[in-house]
Structure 1
Amino acid sequence: MPEQPLVSIIVPIYNAQDHIARCVESIRRQTYRNLEILLLNDGSQDVSLEVCKMYANVDPRIVLIDKANSGVAATRNMGLREARGKYLQFVDADDTIQPYATELLVQRAEESGADLVIAHYNRITPPRPRAEDDP
């Protein structure tokens, strides 16, 4: 079986303490194993950096970059410069991905020779408070 091409997953992070653990866990649980997980902390003022450090200590696939705040576009661009993979995948810090997502994207890219592969997504939003729930 040929070796899987490396996929660099780029995650820009800014004040994501409520979401980052769930996000990173969803990436770590991918059925596709040849991953480089770039966690780019963009000057968070909450505990996001500490959570990322914990994950970097337990998973050698994680590369943690801590930088001054420059915005999401500049942070993604830094991730592009640092990435080593044949394929790039962007995941926002408040996103989760299905366990087979990366595997399917790579499979389709390899089969078709496509330069870009995109997929459907599900948007999950918290329920709106009901009027009777207001104080």
Structure 2
Amino acid sequence: MPHPVRYAEDDPYLAKLRDICLAFPQSAEKASHGHPNFYTRKVFAVFGGVVKGDHDSDRYAQSVLVLPDAGEREALLADTDRYFHPAYYGPSGWVGYDFRAGDVDWDEVAELVDTSYRNTALITLVRELDTRG
């Protein structure tokens, strides 16, 4: 049974996130479990999330899930207005950045996605990214 679509294709947050994510070497997008996923061989960013015990809510429908460096995770989650511990991904070290929590700092989002890409992509793709400057 397919998962219901949990996003609007014309969402302006998704459009901006798409621009950021698809600029990385060999990145692509696919819908999985009702959300756009950005990946190379592994997923490095997901648009939209939920928290444990609240799977039917759209509270975090406009967010991005990323895999930060291990030492950065707790500091990010300390900002409970912006960041959240996503269901399913959170136990593996991922965090969510809520686009609805205020003005979006797109430079910060790009840095988070960059780190997540580096934490999941093949080393050859990270080298390619580094040669781009």
Would you say same fold, with TM above 0.5?
no
Task: Give the TM-score range, shorter chain.
Answer: under 0.3
TM-score normalised by structure 2 residue count: 0.27
The structure showing larger relative contact order (alpha-carbon pairs under 8 Å, at least 6 residues apart) is: 1
TM-score, normalised relative to structure 1: 0.27
